[in-house]
Structure formats: C-alpha cells, structure tokens
Amino acid sequence: MAAGPGGRITRIVYDDPDETPLDLRRGALTVETRGRGFIDVTAAVREWLGGITAGDGLLTVFIRHTSASLAVQENADPDVQADLLAALDRLAPENAPYRHTVEGPDDMPAHIKSLITSVVISIPVADGDIMLGTWQALYLIEHRTAPHSRDLALMFIGRAQH
C-alpha cells in the first residue's frame, strides 16, 4: 500500500456496484437562532433523511446566508465550541476598522467568519444515516449577535432504503 512521510494507508475498501437507479431529493430546514453560537442540527437532518427513506448516498447541506456557516465539529465537550468562537473572534474582531458598517459592528466580522468556515458541507449517508464520527455533530454557526432565521438547503443523491 501507498506510504508517505506522514504515515501509510492500511486499508482500502471497495463497494460492490449496485444497479439500483439513483434518486435526487431536495429539502430545507429553517433554524431560528438565539444569536452568536453553535446550533446542533444533526437530529433535524437525520429526521429529514428518515422522512425521505434515504438509503446510501451523499447529503449536501448549504446555508443560504453570508453571516452564518456550517461545521462538523466535536459534540462531547462544549468548551470546544467556546474555544472555536473565541478563535473566530480573534481572527475577525468587531473593533477592526471595516468599511462595511451599515448593518452594525458584528456584520462584517460575521461575513469574514462565514468565509473562513464553510457554507456547504457534504456528508456520506449509509443505511439512511449520516456517517459522522462518534464525537461529531453537524452545526449551524450563527456569527451575528442578534437572533436570526436561517435557511438550510438539503440535497440527497443516492438510493432509497430497501
């Protein structure tokens, strides 16, 4: 197997081809935030996948905003989220001399935080469930201080459960 200076590949898995046609399903979630912070949307996404009887495929989640974002992050220790928010605040502080200030002092930093995180995430789906790791969850990150209504577009391409 291939190896490099940082490690080696110890396993490669090939799936058996399936002749079942692929299905494409679209959906949406609306999330009411309470202001800056992480909102776990994992359960809602799993509920949506169950509702469309998803089997194996790929889920893409896209947030339709420029001042909030998405992340797959640890779900066990809330200190991780606090540290990540603090790090983002250091990278894009509210008191920097921004030109864009018409929507308030938290708006331009929110755009920067959205730019350096993610607005779209794809997650493999197996047997109708997203293949997150043991300590992972899917989060919407609200970067603004005030509550907002945030829209997530969901797209699943794959096979239905048998």
Residue 23 placed within a domain = no
What does pLDDT average to over the chain? 94
Query: How does residue 57 score in pLDDT terms, banded at 50, 70 and 90?
Result: very high
Specify if 61 maps to a domain.
yes
| Residue 26 included in any domain | no
Q: Which residues pair with 120 in a beta bridge?
A: 62
Per-residue pLDDT, 2: 65
Give the pLDDT mean for 61-89: 97
Nearest to 73 by CA among 128, 125, 118, 7: 118
In a domain, residue 133? The reply is yes
DSSP state of 135: T
**Average pLDDT, integer, range 102-111:** 96
Is 1 domain-assigned?
no
Give domain status of residue 28, yes or no. no
What is the span of the domain harbouring residue 81? 35-154
Query: What is the tens place of the pLDDT at every residue in 78-93?
Result: 999 999 999 999 999 9
The verdict on residue 116 lying in a domain is yes
Which domain CATH number covers 104? 2.60.120.460
The verdict on residue 132 lying in a domain is yes
Compute the 3-state secondary structure of the chain and give helix, strand, coil in percent, each to the nearest 5.
20, 40, 40
Q: Which tokens in the block code for residue 39?
A: 């909102």
* Number of domains composing the chain: 1
pTM for the model: 0.90
Tell me: pLDDT of 153 over 70.
yes
Instruction: Report d(CA 159, CA 127) in Å as an integer.
Output: 9
Instruction: Tell me whether strands 129-130 and 120-126 are parallel, antiparallel or unpaired.
Output: antiparallel
> Considering only CA atoms, which of 60, 58, 56 is closest in space to residue 15?
56
